Amino acid sequence: MPTAELHRCSWADGDDALMARYHDEEWGVPQRDGRMLWEMLVLEGFQAGLSWRTILHKREAFRQAFAGFVPEQVARFGDHEVERLVGNAEIIRSRAKIEATIAAAKIYCDMHERGEDFARFCWSFTDGKVIRGDGRSLPVSTPKSQEISQALKRRGFKFVGPVIVYAWMQAVGMVDDHAAGCFRRDGR
């Protein structure tokens, strides 16, 4: 399908082919893989105070730096790895966000060890269903993102405020917020 002829959400219009591909193939597609949901939650946390474009263009470097976002490996990172990551100019070098990622990996692993599936946990807030936005307005947070944020914080996750969580919900397809007229609206 030639992507140049498609009507997209305004944030994906323009000359950034990576942003267009992300919009066309990934953003808003319901993600049911727990590891990928965790990776996206971590990346949304790194985005805090920055643009998604910045994170997207660094995503492969993040994957390399964080052992492919394999939670079991990231959970074993110690002081040496933190220092290595803080010195890595290819990623966002926020010590607080790096340490939060390692802690999040430990939480993910603890949930798994207790028999809790991260994907099931995430989707339980919407009863496994996609929430459909109206295609005209884009809230920055909702009562549902506030509820999920609080649940994640109770478990010990950091950088999971309701605005970050709502952006994550959009990215992983828990919310369909594609604009009216976008070729991806309603799962197209």
Q: Is 166 a catalytic residue?
A: no
Distance, in Å, from the CA atom of 26 to the CA atom of 161, rounded to the nearest integer, reads 22
Q: Render the chain in DSSP notation, one character per residue.
A: --GGG----GGG-SS-HHHHHHHHHTTTSPP--HHHHHHHHHHHHHHTTS-HHHHHHHHHHHHHHTGGG-HHHHTT--HHHHHHHHT-TTS---HHHHHHHHHHHHHHHHHHHTT--HHHHHHHTTTT-PEEP-SS---S--HHHHHHHHHHHHHT--S--HHHHHHHHHHTTSEE-PPTT-TTGGG-
Q: Would residue 52 show up in a list of annotated catalytic residues for this protein?
A: yes
Please write down the HEC assignment for all residues of 68-83: HHCHHHHCCCCHHHHH
Q: Which of 44, 123, 166, 168 is catalytic?
A: 44
Catalytic residue at 22? Answer: yes
11, 26, 52, 99: the active-site residue: 52
45, 101 in Cβ contact below 8 A?
A: yes
Catalytic residue numbers, as ranges = 22, 44, 52
